[in-house]
Amino acid sequence: MYPQTMPRNSWYMAAFRDEITREPFARTIQNIPLVFYRLQDGRAVALLDQCIHRQMPLSLGYIENDNIRCCYHGLVFGPNGQCVEIPSQESVPALAKVQTFQVVEQDGLLWIWIGDPEKADPANIPPCPWLNSPDWVGATGILHMNSRAQLLNENLLDLSHVEFLHPGSIGASKLSSFPITVDADEKSIRVTRIMDDIECPALFKKAMDLPDRIRRTQTAEWFAPGFHVTHIGASPVGADDEDQFRHKALHWVTPETDTSTHYFWALYRNYRLEDDEGLTQMLRDAHHAVFCQDVDACEAIELALQRYGQDSPPYVNIKVDNGSLKSRRQIESMLREENI
Ligand code: FES
Ligand SMILES: [Fe+2]
């Protein structure tokens, strides 16, 4: 069965850079309500979004210099969580401290560590070079999903739903009949499908101006527990450059609660870089629609899972589930390591 909880001793994508400003910003991650804001020097901080006095969300309060003031009785907390002012009294108890969380900004993304602080190593944050490269251009988006995170992890490692869940955009007939290969190491998985001569999907025709039949490649790469790069290549059949047109679809799967998930995504391309905003907007809209179909699927499955609980009717796995099941095993092993 799909794990419902996710490992805690891992970096999770918390926000796109522009979301965090000098205003308090609330987002729940791994069941923990958080408030984010930027200090005067631009650094981002994350605190538990709950005042230690009467549990008012701090995100409803005000930023004052580098501090945050609760909107209820005016207690002020520094970026290290320490209370520095109680307006109704002179002394501030040393224990008056809100929990803080380590955040790291990299490639325009804010990552957070909510597990054991001793184990946090920023070197383990996966790089996303496409977001900053002059050779790539693209768009980003955020979706909210009422389903556990692992359902989306498994969806993204499953290349065979593309034909049936996404017809009219990236789907193509007979796509599922091409074999997949899977390789994995301890904390990552790659699922590849090479389609030497296949119908060109509608979206590729529009964006890449390709003929009816193309060579198409797709590799879904996953870095546990929640970062995916889908490497997509397309070219006319028989072209010298086998992946003339490339997309990198990036997906960050961050648990909000045990049954809801933040789905951050980006779609970058290596062609028509100078093009007007029109192409970027078209690809953004088209991929938003595609990813909404995945969200709808995950939410429908989550409802089914919750309907039956442990007494689910039997289900079968098929060959194309190989990559998805490997990711489930890796998550289960990470949870075991944390005694969850
Ligand atoms: S609840 Fe925050 S100051 Fe009272
Ligand atoms: Fe999909």
CATH number at residue 325: 3.90.380.10
Compute, in angstroms, the gap from residue 222 CA to the centroid of ligand 2. 14
Please name the residue whose Cα sits nearest to atom 3 of ligand 1. Answer: 73
Mutate to test the pocket of ligand 1, among 69, 75, 89, 92 (most ligand atoms within 8 A of CB): 75
Ligand 1: which atom is nearest the Cα of residue 75? 3
Q: Are strands 213-223 and 227-236 parallel, antiparallel or unpaired?
A: antiparallel
Ligand 1: which atom is nearest the Cα of residue 58? 2
Do 43 and 186 lie in a common domain?
no
Do residues 322 and 180 lie in contact, with contact meaning Cβ atoms separated by under 8 Å?
yes
Do 151 and 84 lie in a common domain?
no
Ligand nearest the Cα atom of residue 89:
1
Predicted pLDDT of residue 312: 81
User: DSSP assignment, residue 82?
Assistant: B
Instruction: Report yes or no on 5 lying in a domain.
Output: no
Mutate to test the pocket of ligand 1, among 49, 62, 72, 92 (most ligand atoms within 8 A of CB): 72
Plot region of 32 (φ>0 → left; ψ -120 to 50 → alpha; else → beta):
beta
Compute, in angstroms, the gap from residue 220 CA to the centroid of ligand 1. 47
Looking up residue 109, the CATH number of its domain turns out to be: 2.102.10.10
SS3 assignment, position 340? coil
Mutate to test the pocket of ligand 1, among 56, 59, 84, 88 (most ligand atoms within 8 A of CB): 56
Do 118 and 133 lie in a common domain?
no
SS3 assignment, position 75? coil
Ligand 1: which atom is nearest the Cα of residue 86? 3
Ligand nearest the Cα atom of residue 98:
1
Do 194 and 97 lie in a common domain?
no
Q: Contacts for 235-243 with beta carbons within 8 Å, 24 or more apart?
A: 235/210, 236/210, 236/211, 237/196, 237/197, 237/211, 237/213, 239/215, 242/215, 242/217, 243/217
Instruction: Report yes or no on 192 lying in a domain.
Output: yes
Compute, in angstroms, the gap from residue 90 CA to the centroid of ligand 1. 16
Do 208 and 331 lie in a common domain?
yes
Domain count, the chain: 2
Compute, in angstroms, the gap from residue 149 CA to the centroid of ligand 2. 14
Do 174 and 29 lie in a common domain?
no
Compute, in angstroms, the gap from residue 166 CA to the centroid of ligand 2. 7
- Both tokens assigned to 216: 């198409």
Do 330 and 228 lie in a common domain?
yes
Predicted pLDDT of residue 190: 98
Do residues 226 and 105 lie in contact, with contact meaning Cβ atoms separated by under 8 Å?
no
Ligand 1: which atom is nearest the Cα of residue 70? 2
- Both tokens assigned to 44: 């981002």
Instruction: Report yes or no on 4 lying in a domain.
Output: no
Do 152 and 93 lie in a common domain?
no
Do 191 and 255 lie in a common domain?
yes
Mutate to test the pocket of ligand 1, among 53, 69, 83, 88 (most ligand atoms within 8 A of CB): 53
Mark which of 124, 144, 179 sits at the end of a domain: 124
End-to-end alpha carbon distance in the chain: 15
Compute, in angstroms, the gap from residue 18 CA to the centroid of ligand 1. 28
What range defines the domain where residue 38 resides?
A: 11-124
Instruction: Report yes or no on 1 lying in a domain.
Output: no
Tens place of pLDDT per residue across the chain (340 aa): 899 999 999 999 999 999 999 999 999 999 999 999 999 999 999 999 999 999 999 999 999 999 999 999 999 999 999 999 999 999 999 999 999 999 999 999 999 999 999 999 999 999 999 999 999 999 999 999 999 999 999 999 999 999 999 998 999 889 999 999 999 998 899 999 999 999 999 999 999 989 999 999 999 999 999 999 999 999 999 888 778 899 999 999 999 999 999 999 999 999 999 877 799 999 999 999 999 999 999 999 999 999 988 788 888 999 999 999 999 999 999 999 998 8
Compute, in angstroms, the gap from residue 275 CA to the centroid of ligand 2. 26
Do 98 and 193 lie in a common domain?
no
Please name the residue whose Cα sits nearest to atom 4 of ligand 1. Answer: 73
Do 146 and 21 lie in a common domain?
no
Instruction: Report yes or no on 162 lying in a domain.
Output: yes
Predicted pLDDT of residue 182: 97
Q: Residues enclosing ligand 1, CB less than 6 A?
A: 51, 53-54, 56, 70, 72-75
pTM to 2 decimals? 0.96
Mark which of 124, 156, 176 sits at the end of a domain: 124
Residue type, 202: A
Do 116 and 159 lie in a common domain?
no
Instruction: Report yes or no on 244 lying in a domain.
Output: yes
Mark which of 103, 124, 145 sits at the end of a domain: 124
